[in-house]
Structure 1
Amino acid sequence: MSENVDTKALLRLMAWLSPAFPIGGFAYSGGLERAVHDGLVKDAAGLGAWLSSLLRHGSLWNDAVLFGEAWRRFGDEAGLKDIAELGLALAGSAERYTETLSLGKAFAAAASAWPHPVLDHLPPAVPFPVAVGAVAAAHGVAAASALAAYLHAAVSQSVSAGIRLGVSGQTEGVGILADIEDLVTEMAEKASRARLDDLGGAAVQAEIASLRHETQHSRLFRS
């Protein structure tokens, strides 16, 4: 019986984090477009380093901590509201705020195809990692596994954006995903044990790139 439950949980997680899931994540680069424009990311090696920094010290780390806390509190409506408000307050730019809020709302709406009371516990204004974390927990997906899938999807999306921006080819992009696999696993395990006191980052250039993207004239992405 447990194998059936685990298989269903895996299938749901794969569906939720699939590029086909209707959340519009492909429209965002998280400031990467500006980083490429400013010469901070010039090639596949630079893209890999950029993503590693975000995982260790930047927005992806904070998202992972928020995800883990939402996973633990999936049945606590008041707790989820507090985490959601904190997540939105941590958005370092208007575009980052719009990105996480838009994706969170779209995810919650699309996840209603799998009815569960947790969807009623989520606040209307919910950041993306909080929505995914709470829903994953409600459907019995283990925290570390859910976090690994979430972070891998985020990295994959950024690699795809990097390919569209011309700093990496398809083969190089696959290489980035292979090289960063151990780090994704490490950070997922670490974030599954983290608490809100572990929030914080030092990816200053990434935050500035996100801010500067707001006034960029020619853009492929919304962030």
Structure 2
Amino acid sequence: MTTGTTTITITIMGTATPTTMATVTVPVGITITMGTDAGAEGLLKLAAWTSPSFPVGAFAYSHGLEWAVEAGLVLDADTLHQWAAHLIAAGAPRQDAVLLARAYRQVDDGSALLETAELAAALKGTAELAQETVVQGGAFLRTVRAAWPDARLDGVATLFARERFDLALPVAVGIAAAAHRIPLPETLRFFLHGVAANTVSAAIRLSVIGQTDGQRVTAALEPAILSTASAAVAADPDDLWSAAPMVDWCSMRHETQHTRLFRS
């Protein structure tokens, strides 16, 4: 086979010198494709960004679960698993996953990002759920910019500030992952796992389950997380739907709940 010599640029992430040059010999006609930050650095970023301890205020929101507990809809580990699995597969998190993928692919298109952000905020079923996503989204972008600086994130922040647009959480996560070249499938899996972890954490604080049962529920949610993430990668960007009216109803009832721990 005929061969030729070509010079490629290899980007080394996380170093003071971001690029180096290397010369390799490859068969003529072979295309060399450089991958994205799919390794340990990217996974560490996702682990930090989707951790319950990441400072976006996620601990203050239950996404309607607090009223579901009050109404006797979620009573134990089994009913919590049913609630969370349906939420991930057909509720707002499913829709958020599609929005995240959409924003990820639009990171360099400001007008498209503004449209996606508007949709992400408008598609929430109640005022509490809308507040939940935009408060966390704004906090997420501020924190990522502070700890993991990136010029594209600065540009997005400037654009949204100028247009006075709120940034929903899935849109913010999609933009940050794209800017840092973290693969979309991994981003979606971690994002949805964060949803599951926050739901379980809220249930523990509401005394529905204990710590060990919380881990059992988290483990049982893995199939729903993987399935929803895979579907979101392949979904049409306009395939925006959810089918969890009971969650919206619980959120509406939560607005006037007499005693509550959470803001949604």
Instruction: Tell whether the structures are fold-level matches, with TM greater than 0.5.
Output: yes
Deviation digits for residues 10-51 of structure 1 (CA, Å, limit 9, x no counterpart): 111111112232111111000000111111111111110001
**2:150 paired residue among 116, 119, 129:** 116
Question: Contact between 1:76 and 1:121, CA under 8 Å: does it hold in 2?
Answer: no
Q: 1:72 maps to what in 2?
A: 105
Q: Which amino acid aligns with 2:148?
A: W
Higher relative contact order, chain-length normalized (CA < 8 Å, sep 6+): 1
C-alpha separation in 1, matches of 2:107 and 2:113: 7
**2:88 paired residue among 55, 64, 78:** 55
- TM-score, normalising length from structure 2? 0.81
Q: 2:52 maps to what in 1?
A: 19
TM-aligned CA distance change 1:116 to 1:2, over 3 Å = closer
Normalized per residue, the structure richer in strand is 2
Q: How many residues align?
A: 223
5+ long unaligned stretches in structure 2: 1-9, 14-36
C-alpha separation in 1, matches of 2:199 and 2:76: 13
Q: Does 1:205 align with 2:238?
A: no
5+ long unaligned stretches in structure 1: none
C-alpha separation in 2, matches of 1:220 and 1:194: 36
Deviation digits for residues 118-142 of structure 1 (CA, Å, limit 9, x no counterpart): 3222524100000001111111111
Q: Which amino acid aligns with 1:210?
A: S
Identity of aligned residues (%): 44
Normalized per residue, the structure richer in helix is 1
CA RMSD of aligned residues (A): 1.5
C-alpha separation in 1, matches of 2:111 and 2:177: 18
**2:74 paired residue among 29, 41, 62:** 41
- TM-score, normalising length from structure 1? 0.95
Q: 2:223 maps to what in 1?
A: 182
Q: Secondary structure at the match of 1:196?
A: coil
